[in-house]
């Protein structure tokens, strides 16, 4: 038994506090005592605590606040060391043992903390938060600038805590930071590098959530003022701390529309750090008229007051301690005295490939506060130049899956807990293939393995759809030339030939061998035998399906994100207006329209699949019967997913919140017609159609009417479009024109 008293304050968290206590009792180094103070709970917390018997010391008091409860427990403690645990957090089994080993190596220490994992309500890891190497030893001045010590991570010497006066009940906010500063002013601090705490983001709240921003900052300033009196500090550290504090004041006043106060604070910030761009940026926001700022906001993709950071600045003032006295959502982020603070407890995002889909994800997540990194495998990807995320060049998931996997694993320390969004079938295949190696470090935005493999096999998918009553085209699986004899009776002509799994035709040089076609139409047996002989050299197994007659505008899609109960958290419907090539191409003009009739069969299909994740479910209306027949399901973001934002359905954000363990209420689409345009593809489609006299400009112009979202161009992010046209599309178009002239006047 080690001489450690564990301090737990709780209020109305009967289930969670039991889990926290169990993690203490499971320590490899058994502690001297576990003191749990129930601060006036009205739920079943009393029964929960008494159920532990003499394994804990349960204390009950009227509601006085978390700090008062902790102080009560500290006065009762008999151990030489005090370990703090929030009632919704969980320790790893070796937490106390590893921290005491650090103490054994350096008996002068008064406080030892550790790295931790940010987890969701179900203890699923979102990301690791490693302690920084420089934050050990004499950390007082660093701690004055930024509170990097979380309450549940702390093991502190009792005499140092008592000498510091316990937690100051006069403070309504950040009492723990105040205590750590007092200890660090006199004693050295160290940490354990390993994450030893599951730091949960609870649905039950904190009192500090309801404290107005100015009141919070006033408390912070009070703590800083008092801390600066504890001992002499470097002028540079003091200036940086107060510079960041004044930036916080300026950002908060801007958020409240109090321009004159914001200007005064930004000037004070500049006086502390004259070379700070942040102070001058805030000063400019303080003097620019609101009308001009609104225009700038639309152009730059920022919020209405012209700064993207003010909201996060105030939110970041939440103390790691948190308070457990109200039912507001609990914030547990370190105090960061800087106006450019980001949402530190939100995991980063990795986007595999920066084509239309990846660029759309970056734009959907702009301004949300998390770190977004695009992993691009090609220098020509249109999203490589976006200003809305970082872009790094990596191996290709299709041709170098092992190399990309190794890159991700090497980057796990930097992006621990990141959510990975795939944008191509090859990306999905890679994430599933290496799921066991990647999942300990990342969150993979793909369906469960059994579901994914059922969907990836198009023949299995149509069989399941037929079994649950979802209309499908007549279909047959063929794996040999002899199997073609069944097609006239089972499917009929004309029919469609496609791969059973799309990756069969995409690997290596297979795409060229199949003529760069996703599928193709065959009209008779001779064509079927000829086409099959060609594709069988790539993969012998193909799916042959009935051809559903009708124009492109009969192809409709339901796009959504589905939770673990196979229920959509958000969805929208659309129809294709133009796709290229016409029969089996990719949509380059898609219209957002309400098609409620396809929702019910789609939900039925999701339930049968036990589906979870992103889904693009495509149907084609059979004009002969009026049925919408299932074509395929994409298990990832697709090119025009951004179109959902026109209906108020941001699927990227919905997916992110769900995977980060903070799902929002289901979102239903609003009636808001809009169109998604792949401008370069549509331009080529138009030029080719006019050249062949197959398309009239007036008809296409009518189809383009109304609000539009472009695949590459955006006023708020213009560089990708400019770069793509100048370096990719126009040179390619010029080369094609030259080839046509060299080849004579024959039409293509």
User: Tell me, what's the pLDDT at 295?
Assistant: 58
Nearest-5° Cα angle at 161, 156 to 166: 125
Q: Indicate the domain borders of the chain.
A: 2-202, 231-315, 349-443, 451-455+549-734, 474-546
Whose CA is closest to 129, among 113, 143, 140? 113
Residue 203 has pLDDT above 50, yes or no: no
CB atoms within 10 A of CB 693: 8
The pLDDT assigned to 174 comes to 86
- pLDDT value, residue 294: 58
Q: What is the distance between the alpha carbons of residues 161 and 158, in angstroms, rounded to a whole number? A: 5
pLDDT for residue 96 = 96
User: Do the strands 2-10 and 349-352 form a parallel or antiparallel pair, or are they unpaired?
Assistant: unpaired
Cα–Cα distance for residue pair 143/223, rounded to 1 Å: 12
User: Residue 503: what pLDDT?
Assistant: 78
Looking up tokens 């506060």 gives 369
pLDDT the model gives residue 648: 92
Beta strands 111-119 and 349-352 are: unpaired
pLDDT, tens only, 498-547: 998 887 887 767 778 888 788 889 999 999 999 999 899 888 999 999 99
- Give domain 2-202's CATH architecture: Alpha-Beta Complex (3.90)
pLDDT digits (tens, 9 = 90+) for 28-64: 999 999 999 999 999 999 999 999 999 999 999 999 9
pLDDT in tens, 133-182: 899 999 999 999 989 999 999 999 999 999 999 999 888 778 999 999 99
Domains 349-443 and 451-455+549-734 share a fold: no
The angle at the Cα of 347, spanning 175 to 359, to the nearest 5 degrees, equals 140
Whether 354 shows a pLDDT value over 60: the answer reads yes
Higher pLDDT, 237 or 339: 237
d(CA 630, CA 627) in angstroms, rounded, equals 10
* pLDDT on residue 346: 84
For residue 657 the two structure tokens come to 């919140």
pLDDT (0 to 100) of residue 682 = 81
Strand pairing class (613-621; 555-562): antiparallel
Could you give the CA distance from residue 557 to residue 564 in angstroms, rounded to a whole number?
22
Protein fold of 349-443: Rossmann fold (3.40.50)
pTM for the whole structure: 0.59
Determine which of 339-353, 559-573, 651-665, 675-689 has the lowest per-residue pLDDT on average.
339-353
Angle ∠(733,739,744) on CA atoms, nearest 5: 130
Output the CA–CA distances (angstroms, integers) from residue 389 to 177, 313, 348, 369, in the order listed. Answer: 33, 20, 11, 11
Mean pLDDT of 387-408: 91
What is residue 740's predicted lDDT score, i.e. its pLDDT? 60
Distance CA 384, CA 644 (A): 23
pLDDT at 309: 38
Those residues whose C-beta lies under 8 Å from the C-beta of residue 639, and which sit 6 or more positions away, are: 355, 356, 357, 360, 586, 587, 678, 711
What is 451-455+549-734's CATH number, 3.30.210.10, 3.30.470.20, 3.40.35.10, 3.50.50.60?
Answer: 3.30.470.20
- CATH number listed for the domain at residues 474-546: 3.30.1490.20
Whether the predicted pLDDT of 259 surpasses 60: yes
Q: Name beta bridge partners: 560.
A: 571, 615
Q: Which strand (E) or helix (H) includes residue 47? A: helix 45-50
Which of the four pLDDT bands, split at 50, 70 and 90, describes residue 126? Answer: confident
β-strand pairing of 349-352 with 372-376 = parallel
**Cα–Cα distance, 57 to 36 (Å, whole number):** 6
Q: Are 191 and 131 in contact (CB under 8 A)?
A: yes
User: For 407-435, how does the pLDDT look when each residue is reduced to its tens digit (9 = 90+)?
Assistant: 999 988 889 899 999 999 999 999 999 99
């Amino acid at each position: 038994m080690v001489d450690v008293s564990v301090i737990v304050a709780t209020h109305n968290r009967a289930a969670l506090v039991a889990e926290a206590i169990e993690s203490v009792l499971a320590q490899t180094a058994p502690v001297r005592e576990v003191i749990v103070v129930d601060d006036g709970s009205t739920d079943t917390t009393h029964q929960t605590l008494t159920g532990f018997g003499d394994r804990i010391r349960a204390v009950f008091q009227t509601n006085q606040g978390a700090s008062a409860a902790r102080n009560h427990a500290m006065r009762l403690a008999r151990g030489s060391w005090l370990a703090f645990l929030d009632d919704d957090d969980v320790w790893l089994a070796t937490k106390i043992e590893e921290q005491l080993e650090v103490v054994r190596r350096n008996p002068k220490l008064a406080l030892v903390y550790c790295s931790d994992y940010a987890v969701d309500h179900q203890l699923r890891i979102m990301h690791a938060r490693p302690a920084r190497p420089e934050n050990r030893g004499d950390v007082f001045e660093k701690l004055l600038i930024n509170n990097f010590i979380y309450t549940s991570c702390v093991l502190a010497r009792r005499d140092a805590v008592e000498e510091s006066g316990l937690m100051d009940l006069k403070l309504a906010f950040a009492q723990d930071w105040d205590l750590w500063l007092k200890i660090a002013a006199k004693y050295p601090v160290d940490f354990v590098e390993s994450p030893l705490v599951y730091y949960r983001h609870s649905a039950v709240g904190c009192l500090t959530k309801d404290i107005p921003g100015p009141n919070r900052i006033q408390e912070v300033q009070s703590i800083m003022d008092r801390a600066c009196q504890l001992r002499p500090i470097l002028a540079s550290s003091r200036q940086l701390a107060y510079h960041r504090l004044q930036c916080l004041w300026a950002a908060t006043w801007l958020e409240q529309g109090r321009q004159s106060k914001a200007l005064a604070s930004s000037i004070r910030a500049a006086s502390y750090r004259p070379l700070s761009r942040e102070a001058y940026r805030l000063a400019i926001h303080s003097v620019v008229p609101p009308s001009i700022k609104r225009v700038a906001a639309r152009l730059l993709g920022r919020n209405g007051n012209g700064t993207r950071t003010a909201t996060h600045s105030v939110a970041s003032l939440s103390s790691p301690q948190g308070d457990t006295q109200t039912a507001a959502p609990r914030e547990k982020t370190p105090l960061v005295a800087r106006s450019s603070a980001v949402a530190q407890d939100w995991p980063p995002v990795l986007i595999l490939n920066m084509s239309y889909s990846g660029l759309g994800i970056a734009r959907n997540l702009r301004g949300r506060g998390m770190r977004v990194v695009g992993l691009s495998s090609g220098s020509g990807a249109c999203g490589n130049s976006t200003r809305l995320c970082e872009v790094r060049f990596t191996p290709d998931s299709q041709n170098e899956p092992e190399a990309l996997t190794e890159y991700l694993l090497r980057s796990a320390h930097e992006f621990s807990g990141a959510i990975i969004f795939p944008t191509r079938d090859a990306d999905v295949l890679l994430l599933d293939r290496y799921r066991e190696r990647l999942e300990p470090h990342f969150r993979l935005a793909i369906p469960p393995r059994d579901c994914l493999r059922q969907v990836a096999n198009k023949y299995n998918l149509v069989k399941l759809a037929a079994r649950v009553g979802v209309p499908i085209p007549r279909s047959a699986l063929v794996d040999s030339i002899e199997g073609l004899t069944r097609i006239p009776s089972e499917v009929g002509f004309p029919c469609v030939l496609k791969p059973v799994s799309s990756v069969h035709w995409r690997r290596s040089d297979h795409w060229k061998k199949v003529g760069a076609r996703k599928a193709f139409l065959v009209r008779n047996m001779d064509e079927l035998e000829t086409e099959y002989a060609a594709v069988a050299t790539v993969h012998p197994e193909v799916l042959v399906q009935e051809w559903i007659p009708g124009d492109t505008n009969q192809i409709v899609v339901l796009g959504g994100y589905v939770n673990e109960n196979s229920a959509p958290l958000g969805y929208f419907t659309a129809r294709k207006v133009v796709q290229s090539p016409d029969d089996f191409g990719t949509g380059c003009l898609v219209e957002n329209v309400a098609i409620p009739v396809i929702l019910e069969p789609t939900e039925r299909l999701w339930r049968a699949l036990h589906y979870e994740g992103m889904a693009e479910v495509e149907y084609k209306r059979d004009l002969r019967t009026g049925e919408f027949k299932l074509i395929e399901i994409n298990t990832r973001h697709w090119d025009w997913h951004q179109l959902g934002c026109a209906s108020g359905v941001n699927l990227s954000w919905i997916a992110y919140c769900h995977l980060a363990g903070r799902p929002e209420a289901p979102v239903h689409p609003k009636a808001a017609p809009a169109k998604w345009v792949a401008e370069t593809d549509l331009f080529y489609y138009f030029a080719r159609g006019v050249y062949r006299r197959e398309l009239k400009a007036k008809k296409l112009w009518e189809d383009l009417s109304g609000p539009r979202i472009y695949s590459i161009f955006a006023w708020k992010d213009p560089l990708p479009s400019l770069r793509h046209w100048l370096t990719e599309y126009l040179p390619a178009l010029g080369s094609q024109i030259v080839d046509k002239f060299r080849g004579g006047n024959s039409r293509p």
